[in-house]
């Protein structure tokens, strides 16, 4: 699926490139400059209402909304997640992970304009998606294939033919640009969710989860009201040992609740030990499992199940 959270994979002998492009459908005029940049790399760029191309980049785009991006927008508009998706969102499935995500629905006008753009600019500017904050910068990750290799984040520049922002005199480092645009906060808030996408991709390209698991991923990722009800109205707090201090935070702060949802998803989807079980929970689970096995196989001694007499 081009233009959503698109992942492209390039292999060398010892690295794996995972490019998450939170943006945009690439048009014929888009030009990714093939130069690897760092936070200290400098470039000239400025966008303001007097630039001739002002808001031209806000049309005919396909913008993926990670959970924190969606949270900021829906709170700005006073909507629930479900209300926001019905009014402004589409649900699309990523090519490489086969996971469902939310994308911003463009207007049905000739330009396919962003629903929040006007001739005067963006009406949700303070809560705009992260891809809008990054533009014209893109970010990618090089991950070493060996376990101790770690990750190497780098940046690149996109220059579209219509963009006149590069003709401005204001100079930045990429680090300064990210800080000025507030992209650092968005990256931090969405990091746990991005790790789920990377984990799913490494699980095997083309291997689709069952529908019920995809629905779980979607609801727990994007609908915090749903996850909140799951935490407080199920056996969640009887199973997991959540410190009192953290419990207070998730009760008062949606971003803390969101981070907890990412941790639970990693545990539920990939059996990672991201959350601590309460004492005795695993023993009880084992007892139930053993009881089920006895019902199925009778009282045959352990180790003999499946043996041929």
Overall pTM surpassing 0.85 (yes/no): no
Closest by Cα among 280, 282, 257, 279 to 271:
282
Tokens 């959540």 correspond to: 242
pLDDT, tens digit, 9 for 90 and up, residues 204-236 = 656 888 999 999 999 999 999 999 999 999 999
Is the distance from CB of 58 to CB of 122 less than 8 angstroms?
yes
Q: Which residues of 51-68 are buried (b: 16+ CB within 10 A; e: fewer)?
A: eeebbebbeebbbbbbbb
Final residue belonging to a domain, choices 202, 233, 253: 202
What pLDDT does 204 receive?
Answer: 63
Closest by Cα among 243, 258, 234 to 70:
258
Interatomic CA distance for residues 18 and 6, integer angstroms = 9
55: Cα separation from own chain's centroid = 25
The verdict on 239 and 95 lying in the same domain is: no
The verdict on 46 and 188 lying in the same domain is: yes
User: 132 or 308: which carries more pLDDT confidence?
Assistant: 132
The verdict on 36 and 182 lying in the same domain is: yes
The verdict on 229 and 198 lying in the same domain is: no
Residue 279 inside a domain? The answer is no
Q: Is the pLDDT of residue 10 over 80?
A: no
Mean pLDDT of all residues in 120-145 = 89
Q: Is the pLDDT of residue 306 over 90?
A: no
Query: Among 78-92, 152-166, 249-263, which is the least confidently predicted range?
Result: 152-166
Bridge partners, residue 102, by sequence: 91
Q: In total, how many domains does the chain have?
A: 2
The verdict on 111 and 172 lying in the same domain is: yes
Interatomic CA distance for residues 35 and 38, integer angstroms = 10
Q: Is the pLDDT of residue 29 over 50?
A: no
Q: Is the pLDDT of residue 191 over 70?
A: yes
Pairing of strands 32-37, 151-158: antiparallel
Mean pLDDT of all residues in 28-44 = 84
Strand (E) or helix (H) holding 218: helix 211-222
| Mean pLDDT of the residues in the chain | 84
Residue 197 inside a domain? The answer is yes
Interatomic CA distance for residues 151 and 271, integer angstroms = 22
What pLDDT does 33 receive?
Answer: 85
The verdict on 90 and 228 lying in the same domain is: no
Identify the band that residue 9 occupies on the pLDDT scale cut at 50, 70 and 90.
Answer: very low
Domain of residue 174 covers 5-202
The verdict on 242 and 149 lying in the same domain is: no
Residue 195 inside a domain? The answer is yes
Beta strands, E only, the chain: 5-11, 15-22, 32-37, 42-44, 89-93, 100-104, 117-118, 121-122, 137-144, 151-158, 171-173
């Amino acid at each position: 699926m081009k233009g959503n959270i698109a992942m492209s994979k390039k292999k060398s002998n010892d690295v794996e490139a995972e490019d998450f492009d939170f943006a945009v459908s690439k048009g014929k005029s888009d030009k990714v400059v093939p130069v690897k940049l760092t936070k200290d790399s400098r470039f000239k760029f400025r966008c303001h209402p007097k630039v001739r191309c002002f808001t031209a980049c806000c049309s005919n785009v396909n913008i993926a909304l990670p959970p924190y991006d969606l949270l900021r927008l829906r709170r700005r508009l006073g909507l629930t997640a479900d209300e926001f998706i019905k009014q402004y969102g589409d649900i699309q499935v990523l090519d490489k992970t086969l996971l469902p995500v939310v994308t911003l629905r463009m207007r049905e006008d000739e330009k396919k304009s962003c629903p929040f753009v006007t001739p005067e600019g963006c009406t949700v500017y303070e809560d705009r998606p992260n891809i809008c904050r990054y533009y014209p910068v893109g970010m990618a990750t090089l991950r070493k294939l060996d376990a101790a290799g770690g990750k190497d984040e780098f940046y690149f520049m996109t220059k579209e033919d219509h963009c006149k922002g590069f003709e401005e005199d204001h100079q930045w480092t990429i680090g300064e640009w990210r800080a000025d645009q507030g992209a650092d906060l968005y990256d931090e808030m969405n990091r746990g969710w991005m790790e789920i996408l990377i984990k799913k991709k490494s699980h095997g390209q083309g291997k689709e989860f069952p529908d019920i698991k995809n629905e779980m991923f979607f609801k727990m990722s994007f609908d915090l009201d749903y996850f909140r009800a799951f935490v407080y109205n199920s056996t969640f707090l009887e199973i997991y040992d959540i410190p009192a201090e953290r419990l207070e935070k998730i009760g008062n702060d949606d971003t803390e609740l969101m981070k907890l949802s990412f941790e639970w998803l990693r545990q539920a989807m990939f059996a990672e030990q991201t959350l601590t079980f309460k004492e005795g929970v695993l023993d009880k689970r084992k007892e139930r499992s053993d009881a089920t096995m006895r019902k199925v196989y009778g009282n045959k001694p352990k180790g003999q199940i499946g043996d041929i007499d």
